[in-house]
Amino acid sequence: MMFVDSLARIFGGRASPDAIRSEIFFLGSRHRGEPLAGAIEELNAPRLDPSRARLLRAVVDRLTGDGLACSRRRR
Protein backbone atom coordinates (compact mmCIF):
# COMPACT_ATOMS: atom_id res chain seq x y z
CA MET A 1 0.00 0.00 0.00
CA MET A 2 2.91 2.34 0.63
CA PHE A 3 3.94 2.21 -3.06
CA VAL A 4 0.44 3.25 -4.13
CA ASP A 5 0.45 6.13 -1.65
CA SER A 6 3.79 7.32 -3.03
CA LEU A 7 2.47 7.24 -6.60
CA ALA A 8 -0.63 9.16 -5.56
CA ARG A 9 1.52 11.86 -3.97
CA ILE A 10 3.77 12.16 -7.02
CA PHE A 11 1.18 11.85 -9.78
CA GLY A 12 -1.82 12.96 -7.75
CA GLY A 13 -4.64 15.23 -8.76
CA ARG A 14 -4.64 18.81 -9.89
CA ALA A 15 -4.56 21.88 -7.71
CA SER A 16 -7.97 23.30 -6.93
CA PRO A 17 -8.94 26.71 -8.35
CA ASP A 18 -9.11 28.08 -4.80
CA ALA A 19 -5.60 26.85 -4.03
CA ILE A 20 -4.30 28.42 -7.25
CA ARG A 21 -5.94 31.78 -6.49
CA SER A 22 -4.56 31.76 -2.95
CA GLU A 23 -1.08 30.89 -4.15
CA ILE A 24 -1.16 33.70 -6.74
CA PHE A 25 -2.03 36.14 -3.95
CA PHE A 26 0.74 34.88 -1.65
CA LEU A 27 3.31 34.77 -4.46
CA GLY A 28 2.46 38.38 -5.29
CA SER A 29 3.01 39.30 -1.66
CA ARG A 30 6.33 37.47 -1.41
CA HIS A 31 7.67 38.62 -4.77
CA ARG A 32 6.79 42.33 -4.80
CA GLY A 33 3.65 42.10 -6.92
CA GLU A 34 5.13 39.66 -9.46
CA PRO A 35 3.43 36.30 -8.87
CA LEU A 36 4.46 34.83 -12.25
CA ALA A 37 8.15 35.66 -11.76
CA GLY A 38 7.89 34.35 -8.21
CA ALA A 39 6.33 31.06 -9.30
CA ILE A 40 9.03 30.53 -11.92
CA GLU A 41 11.76 31.37 -9.42
CA GLU A 42 10.33 28.98 -6.83
CA LEU A 43 9.96 26.22 -9.45
CA ASN A 44 13.72 26.40 -9.97
CA ALA A 45 14.44 25.81 -6.27
CA PRO A 46 16.34 22.64 -5.40
CA ARG A 47 14.49 19.75 -3.71
CA LEU A 48 11.03 21.13 -4.46
CA ASP A 49 8.20 19.00 -3.10
CA PRO A 50 6.20 17.42 -5.97
CA SER A 51 2.87 18.76 -4.71
CA ARG A 52 4.33 22.26 -4.41
CA ALA A 53 5.74 21.99 -7.94
CA ARG A 54 2.30 20.91 -9.21
CA LEU A 55 0.69 23.96 -7.58
CA LEU A 56 3.33 26.35 -8.94
CA ARG A 57 2.94 24.90 -12.46
CA ALA A 58 -0.82 25.44 -12.18
CA VAL A 59 -0.16 29.07 -11.17
CA VAL A 60 2.12 29.57 -14.18
CA ASP A 61 -0.51 28.00 -16.46
CA ARG A 62 -3.22 30.27 -15.04
CA LEU A 63 -1.13 33.43 -15.32
CA THR A 64 0.09 32.73 -18.85
CA GLY A 65 -3.33 31.75 -20.14
CA ASP A 66 -2.41 28.10 -20.70
CA GLY A 67 -4.64 26.81 -17.92
CA LEU A 68 -8.00 25.14 -18.42
CA ALA A 69 -9.69 27.77 -16.24
CA CYS A 70 -8.48 30.52 -18.55
CA SER A 71 -9.89 28.80 -21.61
CA ARG A 72 -13.23 28.40 -19.85
CA ARG A 73 -13.27 32.10 -19.00
CA ARG A 74 -12.81 33.10 -22.66
CA ARG A 75 -15.96 31.30 -23.82
pTM metric for this prediction? 0.71
Q: pLDDT value at position 10? A: 59
Task: Report pLDDT for 15.
Answer: 85
Would you give per-residue pLDDT tens digits along the chain (75 residues)? 455 555 555 566 778 899 999 999 999 999 999 999 999 999 999 999 999 999 999 999 999 987 554 444 444
**pLDDT for the residue numbered 29:** 95
Contact 18, 46 (CB under 8 A): no
d(CA 28, CA 23): 8
φ, ψ for residue 41, nearest 5 deg? -60, -45
DSSP characters over 32-52: TT-HHHHHHHHHTSTT--HHH
